[in-house]
Chains A and B, each alone.
Chain A
Amino acid sequence: MTQYGFYFDATRCTGCHTCEAACRDYHNLDVGTTFRHVYELEGGGWTQADDGTWTTDSFTYYTSFACQHCDDPACMHVCPTGAMHKDDNGIVSVDTGRCIGCGYCHMACPYDAPFVDRAKGHSVKCDGCASRIAEGKQPMCVEACSLRALQFAPVDQLPEGERANVAPLPDPELTKPNLYIKNCAAAHAVGDTSCRVANEAEVK
């Protein structure tokens, strides 16, 4: 089985959300639902020295991610029907003919990737734009990124990067995600609690 994955270059990302908007548009998602998230993390502050001068260690960075198509997906482990499965490209997909829409995948995924669309009657999530991949094209988010911060390919063909090692993502050892990141200087590693999500209203 080929294992596809995403590569994210945080040194290029400006947090413009074009990847997210393009994904939502292509998949015809309602406002408020999304397969891709762009998190804005911030932290630090200003300190005044004895001589009255100010210094800062404040920082901001962005991270863009969708389903990680993990090697060991938590959503698949708990799925009662086998609807959540990995296809021949290692993409975690939903068999809509089997899904009962119980929401267990949504509960279990530490990346908040799948969710139940009650109108459709099943879970929905990023499928790596499987139909576009089959046509030799790139996923919509990758193609839409004007900074070329995203890539999608078999993981052995992706540029070298750290495996999903950026806050606020979970420890990659949990599910072995197929997201590789080139972190920017401001980025904080997984487990760091000194940063906070600045765009909580957008991503929650």
Chain B
Amino acid sequence: MGNGFSEAALAVFTTLAPMGACAFIVLCAACFKGAFEGAAGRALDKAAFLPLAVVAVGFIGAFFHLANPLNAFFVFMGVGSSPLSNEVTVGVVFFVLAAVYCILAVAGKLSAGARKGLLAAVSVMAVAFAVFCGLAYTMYTIPTWNTPASVVQMLGYGLLGGGVLGLLTLALADVEVARENAMAGAALSIAGLVIGVAGFAWQVVTSQSVSNIWGAAVDQVPAIWGMVAALAVCGVVGAAVAGASRKKPVPAALALAVVVVAVGVFFARIGFYGLYMSVAL
């Protein structure tokens, strides 16, 4: 039986880590538009540590979930067979790649071509990481989670949060660069909003036919549709602030939008964990 708040540490991880990862997609788009030239480029290189830090905080949240984090290195033993091992491995590969990018960039060791190539690779890994975060929950004995909706919603949350956080990162470095690249962040967050809300709603709908000896899955989270609505409202706020940045990016507003989106996604994740229902007991 599920109690979503008992998995709050995992909710922190699945909220922040994909969000921070997908923010690099906005940096990548800005890079391909030539934003990393001159003084703005140096500021952007320093600001890139922000989404990396958000990912790191997410991983720290995941560690709090573990009863014995000291054995964490054994996680790689299950690559290929355990969905959790696959998720962590993809996440670690992403993090190392992103950290290497940030360090080389701030040290001034990246040529324009290398920067584009590395950021493109980091962006691809960010999307893969969000997808694998969802795949980690597709277990055949848990019918409420064993659905493509688990994957779709995680991808959506990553893009939604990443779009807004990416724009905040640009705005903290250079407001003008943020304005010029606001379209990329807004498009990413709107796409994420649609995919994330649709994925979550899809899961709730499919869960309505799931029950076991203890009752119906959706009865465990009576406010589940309210959580879908809250996610939608928070996502619209985030996407709207991102869209408004096309005219005048305001770092404080973007920071607030990041928090609002994170809260919306966090409660959606609590709802997801609350829908946990085994095939039997």
A residues apposed to B, CB below 8 Å: 74, 77-83, 97-104, 107-112, 116-118, 120-122, 167-171, 174-175, 193, 196-197, 200, 204
Shortest Cβ-Cβ A-B pairs, 10 listed: A101-B67, A170-B280, A81-B74, A121-B68, A168-B213, A80-B85, A80-B78, A80-B84, A112-B281, A80-B82
B residues apposed to A, CB below 8 Å: 1, 65-69, 71-72, 74-75, 77-78, 81-85, 88, 139-142, 212-214, 276, 278-281
A-B contact pairs, 15 of them (CB 8 A): A78-B84, A79-B82, A80-B78, A82-B78, A100-B67, A100-B72, A100-B75, A101-B66, A101-B67, A104-B82, A112-B281, A170-B279, A174-B141, A197-B214, A204-B214
In the complex, chain B residues whose CB is within 8 Å of the CB of A110: 141, 278-281
B142 and A108 contact, CB distance less than 8 A: yes
In the complex, chain B residues whose CB is within 8 Å of the CB of A193: 213
Which single member of A98, A122, A196 contacts B67 (CB below 8 Å)? A122
* Contacts A107-B139, A108-B139, A112-B278; A78 near B82 (Cβ below 8 A): yes
Which single member of A74, A82, A121, A170 contacts B139 (CB below 8 Å)? A74
Sample of 20 further A-B pairs with CB below 8 A, known A104-B82, A169-B281? A77-B82, A78-B139, A79-B78, A80-B82, A81-B78, A82-B74, A82-B77, A98-B74, A100-B67, A100-B68, A104-B84, A107-B139, A107-B276, A110-B281, A112-B281, A117-B67, A122-B68, A168-B212, A168-B281, A174-B140
In the complex, chain B residues whose CB is within 8 Å of the CB of A79: 78, 82
In the complex, chain B residues whose CB is within 8 Å of the CB of A97: 71
Complex Cα distance, B82 from A120, in Å, reads 23
In the complex, chain B residues whose CB is within 8 Å of the CB of A118: 67
A167 and B85 contact, CB distance less than 8 A: no
Complex Cα distance, B77 from A170, in Å, reads 29
- Between A and B, how many residue pairs show CB distances below 8 Å? 107
In the complex, chain B residues whose CB is within 8 Å of the CB of A204: 1, 214
* Contacts A77-B81, A78-B84, A81-B74; A116 near B279 (Cβ below 8 A): no
Q: Considering the complex, give the chain A residue whose CB is closest to the CB of B145.
A: A107
* Contacts A109-B141, A110-B281, A111-B281; A100 near B66 (Cβ below 8 A): yes
Complex Cα distance, B273 from A103, in Å, reads 13
Distance of A198 from chain B, by nearest CB (Å): 11
Distance of B61 from chain A, by nearest CB (Å): 13
In the complex, chain B residues whose CB is within 8 Å of the CB of A81: 71, 74-75, 77-78, 85
Complex Cα distance, B271 from A109, in Å, reads 21
A99 and B71 contact, CB distance less than 8 A: yes
Distance of B80 from chain A, by nearest CB (Å): 11
In the complex, chain A residues whose CB is within 8 Å of the CB of B65: 102-103
Distance of A32 from chain B, by nearest CB (Å): 15
Q: Considering the complex, give the chain A residue whose CB is closest to the CB of B85.
A: A80
Complex Cα distance, B68 from A118, in Å, reads 8
In the complex, chain A residues whose CB is within 8 Å of the CB of B81: 77
In the complex, chain A residues whose CB is within 8 Å of the CB of B141: 74, 108-110, 170, 174-175
Q: Considering the complex, give the chain A residue whose CB is closest to the CB of B88.
A: A80
B142 and A107 contact, CB distance less than 8 A: yes
Q: Considering the complex, give the chain A residue whose CB is closest to the CB of B212.
A: A168
Complex Cα distance, B214 from A135, in Å, reads 40
In the complex, chain B residues whose CB is within 8 Å of the CB of A121: 67-68
B139 and A100 contact, CB distance less than 8 A: no
Distance of B270 from chain A, by nearest CB (Å): 16
Distance of A94 from chain B, by nearest CB (Å): 11
Of the listed residues B68, B82, B142, the one surrounded by the most CB atoms of chain A closer than 10 A to its CB is B68
A98 and B71 contact, CB distance less than 8 A: yes
Complex Cα distance, B15 from A83, in Å, reads 28
Complex Cα distance, B10 from A77, in Å, reads 20
